Structure formats: structure tokens, C-alpha cells
Amino acid sequence: MLKKQADTIRFLCADMVQKANSGHPGAPMGLADIMVVLSQFLNHNPKNPNWLNRDRLVFSGGHASSLVYSFLHLSGYDLSLDELKNFRQLSSKTAGHPEIHTPGVEIATGPLGQGVANAVGFAMAAKFAANLLNTPENELINHKVYCLCGDGDLEEGISYEACSIAGNLKLDNLVLIYDSNNITIEGDTSIAWSEDVKARFEAQGWEVARIDGHDYDQIEFALNEVKNKEKPYLIIAKTSIAKGAGKLEGSHHSHGAPLGEDVIAQAKAGAGFDSELKFHISDDVLLRFRAAVEKGDLSEKLWQKQLENLNDDGKKLLNALLNPDFSKISYPDFSGKKVATRDSNGAIINAIATAIPGFIGGSADLAPSNKTELKNMGDFPNGRNIHFGIREHAMAAINNAFARYGLFLPFSATFFIFSDYLKPSARVAALMGVKHFFIFTHDSIGVGEDGPTHQPIEQLSQFRAMPNFYTFRPADGVENVKCWQVALNLNAPSGFVLSRQGLEPLPNAVFGDVKNGAYLIKQSEVDTEILSRAASTGKAPHVTLIASGSEVSVCLKAAEILEREDIGVSVVSAPCFELLCKQDESYTHKILPKHSLKIAVEAASAFEWHKFADIVYGMSSFGESGKAEALFEHFGFTAEKIADFVKANLD
């Protein structure tokens, strides 16, 4: 029966890829035997994919998505056979790589290696949840995290970062099943990879087992040992890619292309299946898999009994984790204060953490510089400060899992220049629409003496170009608070791009607010006369300066210089380009008048401002090494040089 179940999965996967004429049949067919046995160990409820104490199953090799969908359908999740037949088609629930709109998919793993780090994140989140909610009498959180990965996942650097953290934390609730088929797209893994994986993981603090990935007894024995482990557990399963696919079994040609109708028909006949039937599931096989529904429903009902026995403090805490109340946050007041936005941000996140028990995070070994330590809140796993080490990419992917766990609001912190190291995980966060807060300090050439390798230039444009990601670059402490108030209520990740140097406090808004993305912070007293003249002549002796972050106060000073020469100048603070893009024309024309010369000023590449500005005054090169003040002078970001630039463009 186990073999019949496994072959059913194999042929469902093969049929899906064949019908779509696109996909990866090899890995799913090779993993089918493991999937069948693993399905007997998983504690989950197909009727409620969001049950808190379910085992998490992560498919790091997302290209093997046909295996994911076959398992979910067979187990009784809300994923019909028609959806399997619609594999990789527009608007289906069965996308080429797993996405969270599919019931039962825990997280969008995307590029190889992401899922390994996500699994580490789920295991970490479970540990922290258990420390918060469990008592000696009532073990409310005790689930496991399983992850299926392949050679490609372990070749990616992110998996090394994440598994190193897992070993250091002794995550005994984490099981990584490595599909060791020694095949990549280009051929045998030996052409590029020859390390001893067992020795690598043991050196990182894992327990390791080797098994035949097609031997049901060995698979069962290895999975049964999970309960005895005191460290994270790697199961190296030796498999054949495209197991059962005749001449294509073991071949790299089966990795990313349909097997062909003839090969599939021969494989089905060889396994005793009707070679003419496609997407066929026999009643006895379906009955075995669908046992997961009753088993899972019973498990959740028993857990609900435990939930009822939770003491009053525990129930109050769980409710606060599930339903964070942002109105309880008592924000610091920065009115009239000159302060670096990294410093104001540090005070803000401490205020958030005080009010919101699920607010948790850390830095890639830069907390003192990022100002991200949560004061008096301890270190993970008992406290809320996570020490990620110098592992930006793993940090972001781990926190994506924290965001998907169901209880937590995570933040990831580093220097803005190092956002390049975590960009792939930030992108997946945006794709999923999770509340994950990225804190990026040292935001511009103001980094100073560390030089051009550490001075971000193109990064602002990069994040602003990302769909469903909101990049906030506040210009003072008050604006920083408002940015957080907006970000906490967005169903999307946000980035906070923060200064190292102190920033002057801004005047009150004239029109609009941070929630609009940009707002008028200074309006010239001669606007009416000048705009009237501009409307009749077609010329614009009126200027609107648009800026974010440290450049806003510089533009305000430039405006003073220009107004002494009877040039009307308005200044717009634009802390969030993405929110500005969502405003209608009636709003944008109010703060950015048609007959005003609009100049965007930013110490970055800033090319995206051409959407709203007539001229962009930004960086066209990398920075240099020197004191921040000298660099701003050298690259023209002073009030005098901006004023001169404006006058030159009015002539």
C-alpha cells in the first residue's frame, strides 16, 4: 500500500507537468516514498490550515511544487483535482512555485535555500512561542518543523547561514530531510560540489542520519527518531531523481522538463497502474491519505481542551499576540529635537515592544550601531532580542517565517548598504504581503569615512521599485513616529531608511501628511502671485523642492536663500514614495503644482523621482571616503549649491 500511495503521487506529479508542458517532475517522483511515510508522522489539520500547534512542513525546493499540491489534495486540503489539472496556469492555486494563497502552503519559498532558512525561522518562532505560553502543566506549543530540501538548497549560501544559527540554538524541533539525488540541471553535482554534507552539519551542531530514501522501513525509523533528538536533525536520504520513470530515472534530463507521454505510460504500466488513465487516484489510496482529516481534526480538538486550561494571564497574552492593539503604543515625543533618525527609531521600536508582546527581532551583529536593542527584554530564545550574527540573508528569511507563524511582528536590522545581501528575502516578503519591518541605518553618503563600498546609492531606488514594499525615509523624529504608525497598519513589509547624523526638526505640515507619502511642509508667501504669472506666461519662476530624509532640512534652508531673491519656493517632504504613487491627481497637483518647476533632491540615484519631478538632483556616481560634511559639500548637497542649481535652471 505504501508503494501504491507513493506511485499515485509520482504519476499525479508526472501528469501535472505533462499537461502543463512545463515543470519539474524529477524531484517530486524521487521524494514520493518519503512523502508517504512523512504524511503518517505529520500532525496537521487539513480542515484548518491555520491551527496554531500544527507541524509546519516547508518545501524548500519550490520547483518540486507538483509534490506539494499532490500531497495537499490527497490529504484533504481545499485544493481540488481540477486545480492539479490547472497546474502552472493563470489564476490557478497551483503556481509554478508554492505561494501562500494555496491552502496548506506555509510560506512562499521562492529561490533555492529560502525554505531552509524559513524552516529555521519557524522552529525559532515555535521555541519562543513555547517559552511564552507553555507551563509545566500545560504544553500548549510542542509541534515540529519539517523541511524538504535538495542539493541546490544546500549549495546556496543562505542555507549555510541558517543552519549555523539552528545548530547554535540547538533547535531540537527542526527536521531537515535532504533529498540527495546528486543531480542538478547541468548534470551530476560532482561537477561543482564535493563536500561532505554529514561532516558539515555535524560541525554546525546537528545530528545526522543517512538512509535509503526509497526504503520505507529506513524512512520510518529515521522519522521515529525525531522525538529523541536534542539538536536539529538532518536526514540525508539517498534517492533517484524521477524514481520509476524508466530510462529517465536518475537522469538530469528529468529535472526540469516533462517526461513525455510514452515514458509516463510505460512507468504506469510497470507499476501496475492503468497506463491510459491520467490524474487517477484509487479509492483505497485516497482513503489512506484522507485519514489526515479526521486525525487532524481530533488533534486540534484535544489541543483546544488544553487551550481552555490556559490560565488567565496566558489567555490574555495569547489574545495580545493574535490581535496586537497598536493604539496602546505610547510613542516618544521628538518635537523640536535634533536627532538622528536611527536614534529616534531606537526609541520608537522600544515603545512598540513595550506595548506589543509579539514585536521581536534583531540585527545582523549591528544592534549598537542600528540602535535596535530592545531594552530590558532579554535575549532569544527567552527574550526578544535575536542575535543573528553576520548573516543578513538568513536573518530576513528567518523573520519571514516569524511573520508567517501567526503570533509575531518581526524586524530585521542592518546597514542600508547590506540590504543587498537580504534583498531576495525582502522580495519574497513583499510577494507574500507579510508584516516584516526592515530597519536600515547609515542611509547615504553621510556614512562618511567608510567610503563608497559602504555608502548606499542605488538601494533606495531598488526598494521603491519593488511591488508591495513600502520604503520610509523619515526627515526627523516626529516624521519617524508617523511612518511607523502608517507601516504597522499596512499588510505588507516596510523598510525604514535612517540617518547616522542628527537631523533638524521640521516645521508643521502645511497640507497633507505622512500617510499620503509626501506632503507640503513649506509654502511660499508669494505663491499666488507667482503661480498666476506662471499660468499666463507659461514660465515658472516658482519652484517646488521634493526631498526625503536628511535632504529635507537642507532644502528648507535653500528655500530661504531663494526667497531672499524673490523666487517662490515650496518644499515637500516625501518620506514614502510608494504611498505618494497611490494618491490621486487632485492631491499630487496640490503639493506639486503644474506651473511650478519641480526638482527632486536626494543623495541617491533617485531616478524614480522623474515620475513627479521635472529635474532630479541626485547622485550620478558612487560616494567617496571622507567626513560626512565634506562629502555633502563635495557632491553638492548643501543649501547654497542647491539654491545655485535652482537658479541655473530658472534662467
Residue 12's domain spans which residues?
A: 1-297
Average pLDDT, the chain: 95
CATH number, domain at 73? 3.40.50.970
Quick one: pLDDT at residue 526?
A: 59
Cell 517565517: give the residue.
Answer: 401
Helix, coil or strand: residue 321: helix
CA–CA distance, 121 with 119 (Å, rounded to integer)? 5
Q: Which three cell numbers stand for residue 359?
A: 514585536
- Is residue 283 located within the same domain as residue 333? no
Q: Give me the sign of the Cα torsion angle 631, 632, 636, 638.
A: negative
Domain boundary residue among 472, 503, 534? 503
Average confidence (pLDDT) over 234-256: 89
Q: Which residues contact 618 (CB under 8 A, 6 or more apart)?
A: 600, 601, 602, 603, 604, 605, 606, 607, 609
The tens digit of pLDDT for each residue in 166-186 reads: 999 999 999 999 999 988 888
pLDDT above 90 (res 575) = yes
- Residue 321 inside a domain? The answer is no
Q: How does strand 187-188 pair with strand 183-184?
A: antiparallel
* 106, 413, 473, 546 from 410: Cα distances, Å: 17, 10, 19, 31
Catalytic residue, from 392, 479, 602, 608: name it: 392
Is 392 considered catalytic here? yes
- Is residue 140 located within the same domain as residue 100? yes
- Is residue 389 located within the same domain as residue 446? yes
CA–CA distance, 164 with 200 (Å, rounded to integer)? 10
- Residue 421 inside a domain? The answer is yes
The tens digit of pLDDT for each residue in 407-453 reads: 999 999 999 999 999 999 999 999 999 999 999 999 999 999 999 99
CA–CA distance, 422 with 391 (Å, rounded to integer)? 9
The residue among 3, 65, 30 whose CA lies nearest residue 238 is 30
Give the distance from CA 422 to its chain's centroid.
Answer: 9
CA–CA distance, 628 with 284 (Å, rounded to integer)? 72
Quick one: pLDDT at residue 524?
A: 83
Amino acid at 316: K
- Is residue 47 located within the same domain as residue 178? yes
- Residue 310 inside a domain? The answer is no
Q: Which residues contact 224 (CB under 8 A, 6 or more apart)?
A: 41
81 touches 93 (CB < 8 A): no
- Residue 319 inside a domain? The answer is no
- Is residue 480 located within the same domain as residue 619? no
CA–CA distance, 482 with 136 (Å, rounded to integer)? 42
- Is residue 139 located within the same domain as residue 252? yes
List beta partners, residue 600: 546, 616
CA–CA distance, 590 with 432 (Å, rounded to integer)? 34
- Is residue 283 located within the same domain as residue 420? no
pLDDT above 80 (res 267) = yes
Q: Which three cell numbers stand for residue 445?
A: 553618503
CA atoms within 13 Å, Cβ hemisphere of 227: 6
Detail the residues annotated as belonging to a binding site: 24, 63, 110-112, 151-152, 181, 183, 255, 342, 369, 418, 442, 450, 454, 500
Backbone angles phi, psi at 97, to 5 degrees: -125, 145
CA angle, corner 406, sides to 405 and 408, nearest 5?
Answer: 85
Quick one: pLDDT at residue 250?
A: 84
pTM: 0.96
Detail the residues annotated as belonging to a binding site for Mg(2+): 151, 181, 183
- Is residue 353 located within the same domain as residue 273? no
CA–CA distance, 99 with 102 (Å, rounded to integer)? 6
Quick one: pLDDT at residue 247?
A: 87
CA angle, corner 599, sides to 595 and 605, nearest 5?
Answer: 150
Average confidence (pLDDT) over 352-381: 98
pLDDT above 60 (res 531) = no
- Residue 508 inside a domain? The answer is no
- Is residue 603 located within the same domain as residue 528? yes
pLDDT above 80 (res 532) = no
Quick one: pLDDT at residue 528?
A: 58
Give yes or no for a cis peptide into 593 (omega within 30° of 0): no
Burial class (CB in 10 A: 0-12, 13-18, 19+), 417: buried
- Is residue 270 located within the same domain as residue 387? no
Cell 489526515: give the residue.
Answer: 292
CA atoms within 13 Å, Cβ hemisphere of 388: 33
Higher-pLDDT residue of 148, 244: 148
| Percentage of residues in the chain having pLDDT higher than 70 | 97
Detail the residues annotated as belonging to a binding site for substrate: 24, 255, 342, 369, 442, 450, 454, 500
Band of pLDDT at residue 200, cut at 50, 70 and 90: very high
The total of other beta-carbon atoms located within 10 Å of residue 196's CB is: 9
- Is residue 230 located within the same domain as residue 105? yes
Detail the residues annotated as belonging to a binding site for thiamine diphosphate: 63, 110-112, 152, 181, 255, 418
Domain boundary residue among 479, 503, 527? 503
Quick one: pLDDT at residue 527?
A: 53
pLDDT above 90 (res 46) = yes
Element containing residue 392 per DSSP (H, E): helix 392-405
Q: Which three cell numbers stand for residue 370?
A: 542600528
pLDDT above 90 (res 534) = no
pLDDT above 80 (res 50) = yes
- Count how many domains the chain has: 3
CA angle, corner 93, sides to 92 and 94, nearest 5?
Answer: 90
- Residue 314 inside a domain? The answer is no
Quick one: pLDDT at residue 246?
A: 86
Cell 501496475: give the residue.
Answer: 272
pLDDT above 70 (res 397) = yes
- Residue 26 inside a domain? The answer is yes
Element containing residue 16 per DSSP (H, E): helix 2-20
Quick one: pLDDT at residue 191?
A: 93
Quick one: pLDDT at residue 529?
A: 60
Domain boundary residue among 503, 532, 554? 503
Quick one: pLDDT at residue 342?
A: 98
Q: Which residues contact 145 (CB under 8 A, 6 or more apart)?
A: 55, 56, 58, 119, 122, 123, 126, 173, 174, 175
Band of pLDDT at residue 329, cut at 50, 70 and 90: very high
Which value, to the nearest 10 degrees, does the dihedral of the CA atoms of residues 301, 303, 307, 310 take? 140
- Is residue 256 located within the same domain as residue 331? no
- Residue 372 inside a domain? The answer is yes
